[in-house]
């Protein structure tokens, strides 16, 4: 029986055909936040107690990138033995002017990456247990026109 | 800002000793008291810098250290500001001295650290804690952030891994002269380049380790110093404990995202540029007045960022002053003459205090083989996760 796919943490992203990060936005200005209720407030929004919930751009450009070449400690769940280095990119989202960290899709190495490269968001497996696949957002290079 | 005097400094050597942190702090404190020649009974405030990895005693460090030395009725304070805790503890001592609460204070911090990467404290699931989320969802260790900044330097300024390795080699040449350093060993660029990659492009020898250690200061009012017959002590002339200004466009530990600079601010804004300015303003000095700086080299490449944040050179020019020898002992503005975190590893609550110990030894001319000639003004700077800036300027 196929395992059920569930978000690794609730409320941070949508799944399905057009997955998006779930962010916050000021009600009276265009400052964005991810996750919606985490990170510092824009002091201009001191009078607002609620952020508007918005779906963030699913494309952006790589701001910087690196690897986690040694196994991270818990609560990260190691899925491969031996450990395969994780490739991590910080991506500036197209519309929100915010940089979000995420793993690159499986099989991408740092040699494949450059600052300024176009990427898009996908949903992929972070780890599995007996019943579930725990899903998370990752980045993959955006194919330019003419590529498939 | 009125100055206070540094009467005594003391450290327990950095290492991986595996003993109770209280032992390191007590040793450092006894050394600082002896160095100051101040009786324990005179201490009116014990200002501790906390450790979060050693149970309850670590959270109430002011009491823990005072108790270890013997409760004698001093006032107590226990501070936590991540890596900036030691500077916060010093700032409280200064405030209490200026308020007239005490004449002389002991500032002390110590840590015992686990092996390997720092991980979130506690075993429970905490999806509302960014420090838990970054490990759980992406596997972002601290070196990942250092490497993102290093790669950014390569992109913006053309820096190379060879430049970064040169920083480590430089600091290791300083650290061999420091009896409190954990790694008093000279490493060449080739040694660095032959060590394994931790977070591309940074290698094992370029990443700050986690260490055990302890550091302490005895500080007083200028009048108390005079009453002890000390005419020309090293003085604390400025302390910055400044926090960020929105938006922080450079993603910082432990967050998964930067602030958005869509509505305000610019794409390269980071408050690390602002930390030193508060201390410069208090002390009435600028970058050109510094004779040395102890900076927070969590990675080799990070030291280059600090050159620019401190104004030691223009943006993007850090590798020029590095290769010119400006930041080596004997150069124009030696940086990390102690050997820095590269030679010490970090003992979190002790580190900012240890930086001030080094400034004191340098300004007194007691730094031995790593001595900066005729040092009169020194600055330390670091940064505590979640947005605690810290910088101290000392004068002689």
Mean pLDDT of B162-187: 98
Q: What confidence score (pLDDT) does residue B269 get? A: 82
**Are A39 and B255 in contact (CB < 8 Å)?**
yes
Span B121-166, pLDDT tens digits: 777 889 999 999 999 999 999 999 999 999 999 999 999 999 999 9
Whole-number Cα distances in Å, A49 to A24, A45, A46, B321:
12, 8, 8, 48
pLDDT digits (tens, 9 = 90+) for B351-374: 999 999 999 999 999 999 999 999
ipTM of the complex: 0.95
Cβ atoms B393, B377 nearer than 8 A: yes
Q: What is the reported pLDDT for A144?
A: 63
Instruction: Check CB contact under 8 Å for A74 and B263.
Output: no
Domains of chain B: 4-116+212-236 (3.40.47.10), 130-204+237-395 (3.40.47.10)
Q: What is the DSSP string of A91-141?
A: EEETTT--EEEEEEPTT--GGG--TT-EEEEEEEEEEE-SSEEEEEEEEEE
The shortest CB-CB distance from B117 to any of A32, A72, A88 is to: A72
Which residues in chain A are closer than 8 Å to B114, comparing Cβ atoms? none
In this prediction, residue A148 carries a pLDDT of 43
Q: Residue range B184-199: average pLDDT?
A: 97
Residues of A in contact with B119 (CB under 8 A): 73-74
Place of tokens 């492009």: B201
Tell whether B270 is within 8 A of chain A (Cβ): no
Residue B220 to residues B300, B313, B352, Cα–Cα distance (Å): 35, 34, 18
Q: How far apart are CA B211 and CA B113, in angstroms?
A: 6
Q: Which residue of A has its CA nearest to B119?
A: A73
Q: Residue-wise pLDDT tens for chain A (148 aa)?
A: 689 999 999 999 999 989 999 999 999 999 999 999 987 899 999 999 999 999 999 999 999 999 999 999 999 999 989 999 999 999 999 999 999 999 999 999 999 999 999 999 999 999 999 999 999 999 999 976 544 4
Angle (deg, nearest 10), helices B161-175 and B300-310:
90
Instruction: Inspect the interface and report whether the beta carbons of B116 and A110 lie closer than 8 Å.
Output: no
Residue B266 pLDDT > 90, yes or no? no
* CB atoms closer than 10 angstroms to residue B15: 18
Chain segment B311-365, per-residue pLDDT in tens:
999 999 999 999 999 999 999 999 999 999 999 999 999 999 999 999 999 999 9
Chain A neighbours among B 199-218 (CB < 8 Å)? 199-202
Q: Which of A12, A96, A103 sits opposite B260 (nearest CB)?
A: A96
| Closest B-chain CA to A105 | B138
* Closest in B120, B250, B387 to A75, CB measured: B120
Of residues B120, B150, B251, nearest to A90 (C-beta): B251
Task: Read off the pLDDT of residues B12-65 as tens digits, 9 standing for 90 and up.
Answer: 999 999 999 999 999 999 999 999 999 999 999 999 999 999 999 999 999 999
Q: How far apart are CA A119 and CA A106, in angstroms?
A: 14
More confident residue, B285 or B125: B285
Q: Which residue has the tokens 């009125």?
A: B2
pLDDT for position A39: 78
Express as a percent the part of chain A with pLDDT over 90: 90
Mean of all residue pLDDT scores within chain B:
96
Which band of pLDDT confidence, cut at 50, 70 and 90, is reported for residue B284?
very high
Q: Which of B134, B151, B262 sits opposite A30 (nearest CB)?
A: B262
pLDDT tens-digit series, residues B58-85: 999 999 999 999 999 999 999 999 999 9
Strands A99-104 and A132-141, by their bridges, are parallel
Tell me what the mean pLDDT of segment B154-183 comes to: 98
Measured in degrees and rounded to the nearest 5, phi and psi for residue B310 equal -80, -15
Q: Do B137 and A126 touch (CB under 8 A)?
A: yes
Minimum CA–CA partner of A134 in chain B: B137
Half-sphere exposure of B215 (CA within 13 A, CB side): 28
Residue A146: per-residue pLDDT: 47
Residue B162 burial class via C-beta count within 10 angstroms: exposed 0-12, middle 13-18, buried 19 and up: exposed
Quick one: B5 exposed, middle or buried, by C-beta within 10 A (0-12, 13-18, 19+)?
Answer: buried
Quick check: B127 and A32 CB within 8 A? no
Range B380-396 burial, b when 16+ CB lie within 10 A, else e: bbbbbbbbbbbbbbbbb
- Comparing B42-56, B110-124, B280-294, the range with the smallest average pLDDT is B110-124
């Amino acid at each position: 029986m196929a395992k059920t796919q569930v978000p690794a943490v609730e409320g941070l992203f949508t799944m399905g055909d057009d997955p998006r990060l779930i962010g916050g936005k000021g009600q009276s200005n265009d400052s964005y936040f991810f996750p919606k209720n985490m990170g510092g407030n824009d002091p201009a929004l001191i009078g607002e107690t609620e952020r508007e919930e918005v779906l963030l751009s699913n494309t952006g450009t790589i701001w910087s990138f690196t690897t986690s070449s040694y196994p991270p400690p818990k609560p990260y769940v190691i899925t491969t033995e031996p450990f395969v280095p994780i490739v991590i990119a910080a991506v500036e989202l197209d519309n929100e002017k915010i940089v979000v960290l995420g793993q690159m899709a499986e099989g991408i190495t740092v040699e494949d990456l450059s600052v300024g490269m176009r990427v898009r968001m996908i949903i992929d497996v972070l780890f599995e247990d007996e019943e579930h696949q725990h899903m998370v957002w990752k980045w993959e290079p955006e194919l330019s026109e003419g590529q498939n | 800002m009125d100055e206070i005097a540094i009467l005594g400094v003391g450290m327990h050597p950095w290492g991986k000793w595996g003993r109770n942190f209280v032992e390191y702090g007590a040793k450092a404190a006894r050394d600082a008291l002896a160095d100051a020649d101040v009786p324990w009974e005179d201490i009116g405030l014990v200002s501790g810098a906390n450790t979060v990895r050693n149970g309850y005693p670590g959270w109430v460090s002011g009491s823990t250290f005072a108790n270890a030395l013997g409760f004698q009725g001093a006032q107590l304070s226990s501070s936590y500001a991540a890596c900036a805790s030691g500077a916060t503890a010093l700032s409280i001592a200064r405030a209490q001295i200026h308020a007239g609460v005490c004449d002389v204070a002991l500032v002390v911090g110590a840590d015992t650290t686990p092996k390997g990467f720092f991980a979130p404290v506690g075993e429970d699931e905490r999806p509302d804690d960014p420090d838990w989320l970054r490990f759980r969802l992406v596997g972002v260790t601290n070196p990942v952030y250092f490497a993102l900044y290093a790669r950014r330097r390569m992109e913006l300024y053309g820096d190379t891994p060879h430049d970064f390795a040169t920083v480590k080699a430089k600091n290791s040449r300083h650290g061999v002269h420091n009896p409190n350093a954990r790694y008093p060993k000279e490493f060449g660029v080739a040694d660095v380049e032959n060590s394994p990659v931790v977070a591309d492009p940074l290698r094992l020898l370029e990443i700050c380790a986690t260490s055990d250690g302890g550091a302490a200061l005895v500080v007083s009012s200028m009048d108390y110093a005079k009453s002890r017959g000390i005419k020309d002590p090293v003085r604390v002339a400025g302390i910055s404990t400044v926090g960020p200004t929105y938006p922080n466009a450079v993603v910082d530990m432990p967050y998964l995202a930067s602030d958005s600079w869509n509505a305000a601010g610019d794409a390269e804004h980071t408050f690390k540029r602002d930390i030193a300015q508060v201390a410069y303003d208090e002390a009435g000095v600028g970058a050109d007045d510094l004779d040395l700086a102890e900076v927070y080299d969590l990675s080799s490449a990070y030291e280059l960022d600090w050159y620019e944040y401190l104004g030691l050179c223009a943006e993007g020019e850090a590798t020029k002053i590095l290769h010119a020898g400006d930041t080596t002992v004997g150069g124009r503005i030696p940086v990390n003459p102690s050997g820095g975190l590269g030679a010490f590893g970090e003992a979190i609550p002790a580190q900012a205090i240890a930086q001030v110990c080094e400034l004191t030894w340098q300004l007194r001319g007691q730094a031995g083989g790593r001595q900066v000639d005729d040092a009169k003004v020194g600055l330390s700077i670091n940064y505590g996760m979640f947005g605690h800036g810290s910088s101290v300027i000392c004068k002689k």
